[in-house]
Structure 1
Amino acid sequence: MWIRYGLGQAVSLVVTLVRLVPLAILNRVSRERLPDATPAGVVISMTTHGARLAHVHYALESLARGNMVAPMVLWLDKKDFDAPWPAPLRRLVDRGLRVRCSDGDYGPHTKYWGTFNDVAGTATRVVTADDDIIYPEWFLERLVLANDISPDRIVAHRAHRVKLNDEGVAPYRRWKPVTGTRPTARNFATGVSGVLYPASFISYVVGQGTRFMGVSPRADDVWLHLCALRSGHEVRQVSGQSRNFAVIPATQMTALSFHNTMFGGNDAQIAQAYTDDDVAVLKAAR
């Protein structure tokens, strides 16, 4: 069994490395401008930090080659913003990537917070993406189509169903992937595979200010689901299958998601985030 598992992991790594080659070439040779706007009224928002700046161009180039493209904003903490940027990132900036300096140390919330503030009060939708994923060409267009069908719903390629027990919310490791497209407050969007947030939700989140720093500072997915629950925005999965996209090698050893999932980080954040009233809403949800 372990031999088969090891071979499977090796094959997966090779396939992923092969996928990186055309993205690396694209970064070096492309002169195609990234869009300043999109007819769909969407902005893609991302963050990265530290050594991961050396690899973030792979995720960005995978988004730039999509069947549907949109303006992209990369948020950096001040120390990374002021430091020299890798050449692949500078090449993307020359083509129109917006790199912005965060106004605070918000951890994983940096991924969305600045962009939410920029577009709040407009009709703009925001798609969040992670810096360590190779996104497929249909990534954005399927999110937009699903949201067009359900305009006031949060739409995600990957979601888990919140599991409850007698004490309230069950440990995160016991939650199961969503199998279906029916929207419900019990669906928990996981940002790793990309999430689209509608304008009405963005305005609600911005209205909460930086309370996330006291509620779930290390788990942006927890805070955003809590805001969805309290604002009445259900979560819809794009398809009946919860999607996992290829991970860029050498990025996961420092991934916050690894800590939150494998070492119970999400459970600690969930325990202090969800009140008895929140659990009651979850229990009453479809």
Structure 2
Amino acid sequence: MGVTAFIRNLPYKLKITMSMIKLNLFNRISSKSMLSEHGPTLSMTTYGVRFQTAHLSLEAIARGHIRPSRAVLFVDDRSLFDHPTKGLQRLLRRGLEIKLVENFGPHTKYYPFLELVENFDRPHATGDDDHIYPKWWLKKLSQSIENSPDQLHAYRAHRIRLNEEGTEALPYLEWAPGITTHPSNLNFYTSSMGEIYGPNFLKIAKKRGREFLECCPKNDDLWLTSLAIEHEVPIAVVDGVNRTFPAIPASQQLTLETSNVFGGYNDVQIKATFTEDIVKKLRELEHSAGFR
């Protein structure tokens, strides 16, 4: 990074650093429960170096205008499960649950919850362990699904694009920004910024079980988007704005982006997941929306 770029990015980096300092301080001194009776449920996963800072993402949610009614952190590493960080230990005393589960890759953030819960009586939100979410993060998700319970709501999405013949999806890197003006099954949500699912959709995903292991083991967004298309559950972008929330710097050392996006593995999984019926529905949606 050049000197000019460093100076230009300095205010942003300082802002993130200050946010992390504040969250660490709140984590040390707060005794307030991170749960509330009427909130949605919440789950996420963590692994590797991200385990050391996962408490910051959770603390940001715990300080929100709306708090979850249940918060579960899934880990697939026995050594991490047996030795939670001090930050996570403090959150455990305030209502967090940490559960040791099978490794489902990125699906670990949500799938063990589907097996854990028998009946879904409220919406369920998921987030990533490497972002600092604003206080209104869970509130806006909750309000969105309360107003439109038959939709899937996310903070960020891309628009799926098919090739000229309409026979298969274009490469992922050629997709367009998500449709923000209205809910659409052409939207492919990106879950790192956060999303929320209604009880009916959770039942659909639970019923399909571990089928994702056959077609998209490394892409949870793809699997859940495909289910939304199949069952005509449109995907809405919260407030009609594609958002990106600040990332926790050290946590970005481990990511699926290299292999999935730039390594082309997304395209392999998309081809395996988007059945002929799904492609047909996407083609009809593109036609009705004036994209072909």
Match of 1:256 in 2: 256
The residue number in structure 2 matching 1:233 is: 233
Q: Which residue is equivalent to 2:104?
A: 106
Q: Which one-letter code corresponds to 2:71 in the other structure?
A: M
Query: C-alpha root-mean-square deviation of aligned residues, in Å?
Result: 1.8
Aligned to 1:145: 143
* One-letter amino acid matched to 2:54: V
State the Cα distance separating 1:264 from its structure 2 match: 2.2
What percent identity do the matched residue pairs reach?
33
Q: Amino acid of the residue matched to residue 203 of structure 1?
A: K
Aligned to 2:198: 198
Contact preservation (8 Å) 2:159, 2:179 = no
Shift of 1:8: 3.2
Deviation at 1:127, TM superposition (A): 0.3
| 1:11-47 deviation digits (Å, cap 9, x = unpaired) | 3222211111110101111111122x5324x111100
Alignment check: 8 A CA contact 1:73 1:98 kept: yes
Q: Please tell me the residue identity of whatever aligns with 1:224.
A: L
Alpha-carbon shift at residue 94 of structure 1 (Å): 1.3
TM-score with structure 1 setting the length: 0.93
Tell whether the 8 Å contact from 2:168 to 2:271 is kept in structure 1 after alignment.
no
- How far apart in 1 are the matches of 2:87 and 2:241? 33
Shift of 1:261: 2.5
Q: 1:194–1:80: structure 2 CA closer, same or farther, 3 Å change rule?
A: farther
Match of 2:132 in 1: 134
Alignment-derived partner of residue 284 in structure 2: 284
Question: Structure 1, unaligned stretches of length 5 or more?
Answer: none
TM-score (normalizing by structure 2): 0.91
Aligned partner letter, 2:72 = V
* Contact 2:141/2:154 (<8 A) preserved: yes
| Residue in 2 that maps onto 1:44 | 42
Gaps of 5+ in 2: none
1:1-286 alignment to 2 at 5 Å? 4-35=4-35, 37-40=36-39, 42-70=40-68, 71-102=70-101, 104-166=102-164, 167-285=167-285, 286=289
Shift of 1:117: 2.6
Q: Does structure 1 retain, via aligned residues, the 8 Å contact 2:27–2:91? A: yes
